[in-house]
Structure 1
Amino acid sequence: MEARWSAAVRLVVLVRTWALVSGQVRYSVPEEAKVGTVVGRLSQELGVEAGDAEARRLRVVWQGRRASVEVSGASGALVVSSRLDREELCGKSAPCSLRLELLLERPLRVFYVELEVTDINDNAPRFPVNEEAFNVAESSLSGSRFPLEGASDADIGANAQLSYTLSSSEHFRLDHQRNDDLSDSLALVLAKPLDREMVTVHRLVLTATDGGRPSLTGTMELVITVVDANDNAPQFNQSVYKIKVLEGSEVGSLLITLSATDLDEGSNSDIMYLFSRRVAAQAKEMFSIDENKGELKLQGKLDYEEMDNYEITIEARDKGTPPLSGHCKVVLEVLDVNDNAPEVWVTSLSVPVPEDASVGTVVALLSVSDRDSGANGRVQCSVWPTSPFGLESRFAGSYSLVVREALDRERVSEYEVEVRAEDGGKPSLRARRGVRVPVSDVNDNAPSFSQAVYTVLARENNAAGAELARLWARDPDEAGNGRVSYSLWEGVAGAPWSGGGWRPASSYVSVDAESGRLWAVQPLDYEELQVLQFEVRAVDAGEPPLVGNATVQLFVVDENDNAPVLLPTADGGAGLVPFAGGVGGSSVEGASGSESETLWAWAAWGSPAGQVVAKIRAVDADSGYNAWLRYEVWEPRGKSPFRVGLYSGEVSTARALEEADGPRQRLVIVVRDHGEPSRSATATLSVSLVEGGEAALAAAGSSSSSVSGVVLPAEGGAAVGAASASANVWLVVAICAVSSLLVLALVLYGAARWAPRAAVLSGPAPATLVCASEVGSWSYSQRQSRSLCVAEGAGKSDLMVFTPNLPPPPPGPVAEHGSVGNALSPSPLASSVSVLVKQLSAAARPISHSSRTLFWGMMISSDVTRRCVNGGGRIRAGG
């Protein structure tokens, strides 16, 4: 093979050399040869050395064309320098020869080379268009021809010889004929009648194949549209359409888009959508349909409670001639939406409800409904807020509002009951109905005072009709059931008074029936009445009436309306207890309008300082500070040899008595109380200065007629001793008698204390106690710490008063005055004891001063059933 190829090359070179010598060289190269392909060896054909070709500048000159070949300077060969396209260079001409000029300089020479570009099958057949469309009537007959345009091929010769094929089709075939001028005649022949409703468009592929090796092909698509004839009526894809729509949907909402198909086309398939003639007018008002699009829209407000379903017949009509129609039915179901809130009605109301209504009492009948259905219409009811009322379901949609708990009008007089209804929708809707339930009053509350015991302080000598206090009882009931009237309840007790007997509380105080104002019927006198206890009743006007009670303790507050009074002596003298002299009387002018008494006493010369000469006795019918007395020497104001005890009233020597003091000393003594303003009494004491023996005889003589006894000086002790021994016997007898009476009094008091008490106690409580003390002080206090209230001042829990040290009261004008008698003997029992003691005391006159004080202290304790501690000055009243 190689030997043959070498021989051929040598032959070509020989021919080229001969041609070049003759003046022209011919080369042949196939189109589309690669760049660098050697077309011919010019240096050998021209006899030029390979190295000289570049030195002599051998090159190719094209005639008006772009050079596609060139001379290689290194080898002197003619090579392809760019793409050679025969169709571009020569088109359909054959053969395709290119004339080249070879220019050789040094020396200049020109050679001609003819280059033939040979064809290769590098171009496929091409149709004028890629797709050809045409219409064929559905009614066309078999054998109908439809001409086609053939393909072209840029190649020449066998590479351009074309053959045609048609894709498989039962309705069409290809008719290919070659004309005398070697042109092709193509036609599409209808082999079978068309049915547009079966196949609307037929797509066929026409293929052209050239004769090259290998062959190339080109294709064209034939789109054959079958022209319709109106031979089909519109058809819906469903005969019945079922749709569900929520009630309350917005107007204009698209419900469904209906689609009917018509196998025809064009105007034959143009469909109009219409309501059938059988559709009710109500549906036509509620819905609308688009004629062209078949859109069924809502044009009214759907209400499930009015209509829950609709049946609409729709007609689809084409525009063919004659027009054909198809029908379908739209069944529209309206879905319930929870758009109706429950409704609550009060069908019956029984008010007001009495507060004593029993549990289960029906107050109101309620009716509940909801127009929705299903869960949206299921209603649950409740009562709000939590109240003594509840709901009971009688049957579906009916409830009873009943009393569940006991009512109390005084706590809540009216209820605003809210009945709440809630359906089962999502979200749920609610309804409310307020029911006002007033509660009528029943007289179930008795009047109640703000405090069980009222403590009232009233000053004595107040005017008749003066307001002492205001009592107020609260009755939470209303109208007549809460209208309170006040009255003073006397009961069975009263109050003793100084005139004897018992007086009812109404003789002292009265209560206004409407206002509860407590006022004094008459001026109060502390010396007559210290404590008044009674009860006030408050009665309402209900049926039956209810009663409330309150105890009032009225304490009369003492005023300084009594001046001090000198106590009398047995012989008619006033206010002197002689210690060293006798007693006599004459008058001098007193103070504060009280009578003044002249008293006599004796004192021995040489008596030391502090020797008691006499004792002034006075008493004040008032109490407390008003009865607390003090003694002062009014005259002489200079240096007197005598002085008086400020609170004891004892007149004693201020210094040793001398003869220079004269035979007689006259003293004016003022007795004052501590009241505001203070009151006073005066006493004139005439003291005779005598020898010691004369003073003892005078004292012994006067003691036999003195009611209080005499304390003699030391020189007269023997004479007094015998009298004291006799007096001690009587003292023992008196003490035993008083002790027996004291035990009896205590027993009687305990029995009275624990016996059933009357409903109202009215009487004075003994508030003045006399205790032997140096300053004559005493106090009154309550066992329980009570608040003492007066109208014009603040309360205080304790009251302390003072009174002078009192000796036993002898009968006389002072007892008739009532001050001491009332203070120390408030009971008949005490009066009896006092009479007995006075008789014993008359028989035992020569009793010492200290023994006498103890004796009267025991008597007073028996009278008031209290314990008096000698010298203490303060006790707690038993109340």
Structure 2
Amino acid sequence: MFRMVSKGRGDYFEVNLQSGVLFVNSPVDREEVCGHSPLCAIDLEVIVDKPLRIFHVEVEIQDINDNAPVFPVNEKYLSIAESRLPDSRFPLEGAFDADIGTNSLLTYKLSSSEHFTFNVKSNDDNKKSLVLVLKKSLDREETPEHNLLLTATDGGKPELTGTVQLVITVLDANDNAPVFNQSVYKIRLFENAANGTLVIKLNATDLDEGSNKEVSYIFSSFAPPTGGDMFSLDLNTGEVRVKSGLDFEEINVYDIQVEAKDKGNPPLSGHCNIELEVLDVNDNTPELVVTSLSLPVPEDAPPGTVVALISVSDRDSGDNGKVTCSIPPDLPEARAAGPFRVGVYSGEISTTRALEESDGPSQRLVILVKDHGEPALSATATVSLSLVESPQAVKWDSRQRVGSEGPLVDMNVSLMIAICSVSGLFVLVIVVYVGLRCHPGPEVMCGPGKATVVCSSEVGSWSYSQRQSRNLCVGEGTAKNDLMVFSPNVPHFAENGEMEKQLVMASNVCGTVSDVLLF
């Protein structure tokens, strides 16, 4: 009559009444019955009758390795700034094994990583703490996320394992400066580019994220410094545009430095250079100036005589600045070049032949200067040339007149001399020569009264002239009114002495001259 009296746990065991064998009625889960207690026992009471007796039975449940290590979560997320230094430590939660004894002794292993390692520390209670250690600096721009596998293995036979996935996100630090895709940009732009013309759109990239990668653009320097007034730069888009009219003739090269700055703390910046070459357009007409003028032109000037020199220039460059000169026959205001030509490149106006009476007293030439640009620009200038007869030798005709008391000299002097081409010495020689030729000797009879000596001007200069009325005794005959007397410059003290000697011809020339031109 053997039977078992359970204290609430009779469902785990049963007794064979015939044999008295205690056997397991249902599987016993030690961790469910006893938890993590080192000793796990189930108390039973068995009764036998005749005589009635009670026996206490204690069934110890021995642990087997039926529980694998378990981490609190399957994935563990960590955020680590890339600015953290090597040897930085980050604590982790370990795994739990419901078994006891050797079955619950855990070891850990971290998957291979060049940036992380793993340490396990035990405290006084033999409890272990896990630490993730940074062994190499992180670079978010290179690897923004690291995935590691942490494995826990117990000491059972066979061993069981548990794992957790470590997902490490690298937080950005402002450790990257903005970078342009080129360090130097070479741009060519025509000088007639309108205001607002896009020169270039710059683009600088920052490998950071968030505000650390937001970039703004500014001009940092110009060469020459005046370039700041010529261009504009959009702060956000990096667009460089023409702000003011470019002028190749004023500045043809600009060196512009641009800075790209991020919004990190502290901000970092990158730089680039824009080398802008301004291209010439044919926007300047040729300029011409008469730099030398040899006037008047003697009529006996030989062919090839240079009578004027024109200086031509064009502020443009290349073919736009190359100019040629010509005397166009087809312009309305131009007349035939006549005996003159102009050097195509030299600008020299010269004679092509000896001057003739038919050429007239003056010539008016229109000089055309034209550049080689597309389209070509031109300018004209008018040059007036005065032509003068060459000085002629004085012709003398000496003969006897019937009925006269002595030899009578008949003089016909026609003298035209250009003031700018006759020297003072030449004038003096002519005057003395005329006086000696006209002296008749003691037989000459003069009219009544003393002859008047023609004196030089009181101004004392060859350039001074005035018209005066003088009576000159030139002997018998009709009064002359076409005599021009040139007086040299003499001191005032000689007006009664030396002057009479030098100008003896003035008191011996016969005739009456109403108008005398004094120099």
Scaled by the length of structure 1, the TM-score of the pair is 0.35
Deviation at 1:334, TM superposition (A): 1.9
Q: 1:505 to 1:325 in 2, by over 3 A?
A: closer
From 345, 351, 357, the counterpart of 2:193 = 357
Matches within 5 A, 1:426-445: 426-445=265-284
From 457, 461, 464, the counterpart of 2:303 = 464
From 853, 876, 879, the counterpart of 2:515 = 853
**SS of equivalent residue, structure 1 residue 686:** coil
Q: Distance in 2 between matches of 1:535 and 1:572?
A: 56
**Residue equivalent to 1:476:** 315
Q: Distance in 2 between matches of 1:820 and 1:544?
A: 62
Deviation at 1:687, TM superposition (A): 2.2
From 409, 417, 433, the counterpart of 1:670 = 433
Q: Distance in 1 between matches of 2:313 and 2:87?
A: 72
From 453, 456, 459, the counterpart of 1:775 = 456
Deviation at 1:801, TM superposition (A): 8.6
The residue identity in structure 2 corresponding to 1:361 is T
Structure showing greater relative contact order (alpha-carbon pairs closer than 8 Å, 6 or more residues apart): 2
Scaled by the length of structure 2, the TM-score of the pair is 0.55
From 285, 288, 292, the counterpart of 2:117 = 288
Cα deviation, 1:27-79, whole Å, max 9, x if unaligned, reads xxxxxxxxxxxxxxxxxxxxxxxxxxxxxxxxxxxxxxxxxxxxxxxxxxxxx
**Residue equivalent to 1:713:** 449
**Residue equivalent to 1:622:** 417
**Residue equivalent to 2:48:** none
Q: 1:352 to 1:239 in 2, by over 3 A?
A: closer
**SS of equivalent residue, structure 1 residue 629:** helix
Q: Distance in 2 between matches of 1:540 and 1:779?
A: 52
Q: Distance in 1 between matches of 2:454 and 2:376?
A: 56
1:360 and 1:403 in contact (8 A); partners too:
yes
In the alignment, structure 1 residue 389 sits paired with structure 2 residue 231: yes
Deviation at 1:430, TM superposition (A): 2.9
2:195 and 2:244 in contact (8 A); partners too:
yes
From 79, 82, 92, the counterpart of 1:247 = 82
Deviation at 1:466, TM superposition (A): 3.7
Deviation at 1:848, TM superposition (A): 8.9
Deviation at 1:480, TM superposition (A): 3.7
Q: 1:334 to 1:350 in 2, by over 3 A?
A: closer
Gaps of 5+ in 1: 1-196, 198-233, 495-503, 574-580, 586-598, 601-615, 633-646, 648-668, 673-680, 690-694, 700-710, 715-771, 781-798, 808-818, 822-846, 858-870, 874-879
Q: Distance in 1 between matches of 2:81 and 2:483?
A: 108
**Residue equivalent to 1:513:** 344
Q: 1:352 to 1:303 in 2, by over 3 A?
A: same
Deviation at 1:447, TM superposition (A): 0.5
The residue identity in structure 1 corresponding to 2:370 is V
Q: 1:775 to 1:258 in 2, by over 3 A?
A: same
Q: 1:315 to 1:350 in 2, by over 3 A?
A: closer
**Residue equivalent to 1:371:** 207
Matches within 5 A, 1:653-692: 670-671=433-434, 682-683=437-438, 685-688=440-443
**Residue equivalent to 2:172:** 336
Q: Distance in 2 between matches of 1:374 and 1:296?
A: 27
Matches within 5 A, 1:31-430: 245-247=80-82, 252-256=86-90, 274-275=108-109, 281=112, 284-290=113-119, 296-310=132-146, 332-345=168-181, 352-383=188-219, 385=222, 386=228, 388-392=230-234, 399-430=238-269
2:260 and 2:271 in contact (8 A); partners too:
yes
Matches within 5 A, 1:475-494: 475-488=314-327
Q: 1:417 to 1:509 in 2, by over 3 A?
A: same
Matches within 5 A, 1:601-640: 620-624=415-419, 625-626=422-423, 629-630=427-428
Q: Distance in 2 between matches of 1:370 and 1:354?
A: 33
Deviation at 1:380, TM superposition (A): 0.9
Q: Distance in 2 between matches of 1:582 and 1:468?
A: 54
1:309 and 1:332 in contact (8 A); partners too:
yes
**SS of equivalent residue, structure 2 residue 294:** strand
Q: 1:682 to 1:247 in 2, by over 3 A?
A: farther
**SS of equivalent residue, structure 2 residue 293:** strand
Q: 1:670 to 1:801 in 2, by over 3 A?
A: same
Cα deviation, 1:185-218, whole Å, max 9, x if unaligned, reads xxxxxxxxxxxx9xxxxxxxxxxxxxxxxxxxxx
Cα deviation, 1:699-737, whole Å, max 9, x if unaligned, reads 6xxxxxxxxxxx4238xxxxxxxxxxxxxxxxxxxxxxx
- Between the two proteins, the alignment pairs up a number of residues equal to 387
Gaps of 5+ in 2: 1-37, 39-68, 123-129, 223-227, 471-481, 485-509
The residue identity in structure 2 corresponding to 1:428 is P
Pick which of 310-319 and 351-360 moved more.
310-319
The residue identity in structure 1 corresponding to 2:281 is V
**SS of equivalent residue, structure 2 residue 515:** helix
Q: 1:273 to 1:516 in 2, by over 3 A?
A: farther
Deviation at 1:431, TM superposition (A): 3.1
Q: Distance in 2 between matches of 1:477 and 1:421?
A: 37
Q: Distance in 1 between matches of 2:400 and 2:307?
A: 44
**Residue equivalent to 2:42:** none
Compare CA radii of gyration and give the structure with the larger one.
1
Q: Distance in 2 between matches of 1:524 and 1:255?
A: 110
**SS of equivalent residue, structure 2 residue 175:** coil
Deviation at 1:376, TM superposition (A): 1.2
Matches within 5 A, 1:710-749: 711-713=447-449
2:467 and 2:515 in contact (8 A); partners too:
no
**SS of equivalent residue, structure 2 residue 117:** strand
Deviation at 1:350, TM superposition (A): 12
1:486 and 1:514 in contact (8 A); partners too:
yes
2:337 and 2:365 in contact (8 A); partners too:
no
Deviation at 1:362, TM superposition (A): 3.2
Cα deviation, 1:522-550, whole Å, max 9, x if unaligned, reads 35799x99876544221223344322233
The residue identity in structure 2 corresponding to 1:670 is Y
Deviation at 1:446, TM superposition (A): 0.7
Q: Distance in 2 between matches of 1:546 and 1:773?
A: 61
2:179 and 2:204 in contact (8 A); partners too:
yes
Q: 1:307 to 1:629 in 2, by over 3 A?
A: closer
Q: Distance in 2 between matches of 1:546 and 1:629?
A: 51
Q: Distance in 2 between matches of 1:541 and 1:777?
A: 59
Cα deviation, 1:312-343, whole Å, max 9, x if unaligned, reads 56568899999999998866442212233324
Q: 1:327 to 1:505 in 2, by over 3 A?
A: closer
**Residue equivalent to 2:492:** none
2:186 and 2:274 in contact (8 A); partners too:
no
**SS of equivalent residue, structure 1 residue 442:** coil
Task: Please report the RMSD computed on the Cα atoms of aligned residues, expressed in angstroms.
Answer: 5.8
Deviation at 1:620, TM superposition (A): 4.4
Cα deviation, 1:242-277, whole Å, max 9, x if unaligned, reads 865432656x43333669899xxxx99xx987335x
Q: 1:583 to 1:423 in 2, by over 3 A?
A: farther
